């Protein structure tokens, strides 16, 4: 599948593709708060809840039937490394938002994962075609230690904003803080402004 190259999005935020304080790596280090959770494709569900016109629930098979895209993105970890030219395939955030119908009062989004992880972003930061619910990496099923079956990728943010093992999103009418945000990490997480901590 041909990939849409979105690696030039850095031009919105800074002059250099590699954000300040980052080093480029060809590796793809594995980081998580508590190890890799188990999942069962027969019982797995993805939910869209909160301030929407219609709450949604998808089985794994149903989620995989949603319209998908493949993009070439850069990946920036808050710990200081960046991996260029990652090929991710998945469903865009706007695709799910359109299906659910977002309430005009919604201003924030909370992502949740199978391991109990949560992370939050302002709605406007989510409503970009580059924010993907990715189920493939470089043409193969997303490895479980990298968040498979499904993770969020946010190439315009530090990667802790991209929940691994994601199984739901909630549209919020008031901001709430996720796991790392409650522990002092930035809620906005712009790599080109080095927004690592609050």
Evaluate if residue 138 carries a pLDDT over 70.
Answer: yes
Which has more confidence, 1 or 75?
75
State the average pLDDT over residues 33-55: 92
Helix (H, G, I), strand (E, B) or coil at 171: strand
Q: 29-33, 66-70, 119-123, 145-149: lowest mean pLDDT where?
A: 29-33
- Report all structural domains of the chain as residue ranges with CATH numbers, in order of start: 46-193 (3.90.420.10)
The first and second tokens of residue 159, run together, are 């990667």
Q: 100: phi > 0 → left, psi -120 to 50 → alpha, else beta; which?
A: alpha
What's the mean pLDDT when you consider all of the chain?
Answer: 95
**H/E stretch holding 142:** none
- The pLDDT value recorded for residue 27 is 82
143 contacts: CB under 8 Å, gap ≥ 6: 137
Percentage of the chain exceeding pLDDT 70:
97
Does residue 55 have a pLDDT over 90?
Answer: yes
Alpha carbons 105 and 103: distance in angstroms, whole number: 5
Q: Tens digit of pLDDT for each residue in 175-194?
A: 999 999 999 999 899 999 99
Alpha-carbon separation of residue 119 from 42, 177, 182 (angstroms): 26, 7, 9
Please write the tens of the pLDDT for every residue from 146-162: 999 999 999 999 999 99
Structure tokens at 162: 């991209």
- The label of the residue with tokens 């990667």 reads 159
The pLDDT score that the predictor gives to residue 126 is 98
| Among 3, 114, 133, 146, CA closest to 62 | 133
pLDDT at residue 105, rounded to an integer: 97
pLDDT at 10: 97
Could you tell me the pTM of the whole model? 0.95
pLDDT of residue 32: 58
**Contact at 8 Å (CB) between 126 and 111?**
no
pLDDT value at 172 more than 90: yes
Task: Using the predicted structure, report yes or no on whether residue 48 has a pLDDT greater than 70.
Answer: yes
């Amino acid at each position: 599948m041909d990939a849409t190259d979105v690696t030039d999005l850095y031009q919105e935020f800074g002059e250099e593709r590699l954000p300040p304080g980052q080093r480029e790596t060809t590796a793809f280090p594995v980081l998580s708060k508590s190890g890799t959770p188990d999942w069962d494709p027969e019982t797995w569900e993805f939910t869209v809840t909160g301030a929407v016109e219609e709450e949604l629930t998808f089985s794994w098979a149903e989620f995989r039937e949603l319209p998908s895209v493949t993009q070439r993105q850069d990946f920036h970890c808050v710990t200081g490394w960046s991996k260029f030219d990652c090929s991710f395939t998945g469903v865009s955030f706007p695709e799910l938002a359109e299906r659910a119908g977002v309430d005009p009062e919604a201003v924030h989004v909370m992502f949740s994962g199978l391991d109990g992880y949560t992370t939050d972003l302002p709605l406007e930061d989510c409503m970009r075609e580059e924010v993907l619910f990715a189920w493939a990496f470089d043409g193969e099923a997303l490895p479980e230690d990298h968040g498979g079956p499904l993770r969020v990728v946010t190439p315009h943010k530090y990667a802790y904003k991209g929940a691994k093992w994601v199984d739901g999103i909630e549209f919020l009418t008031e901001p709430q803080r996720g796991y790392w945000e409650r522990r002092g990490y930035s809620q906005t997480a712009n790599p080109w402004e080095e927004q690592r901590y609050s």
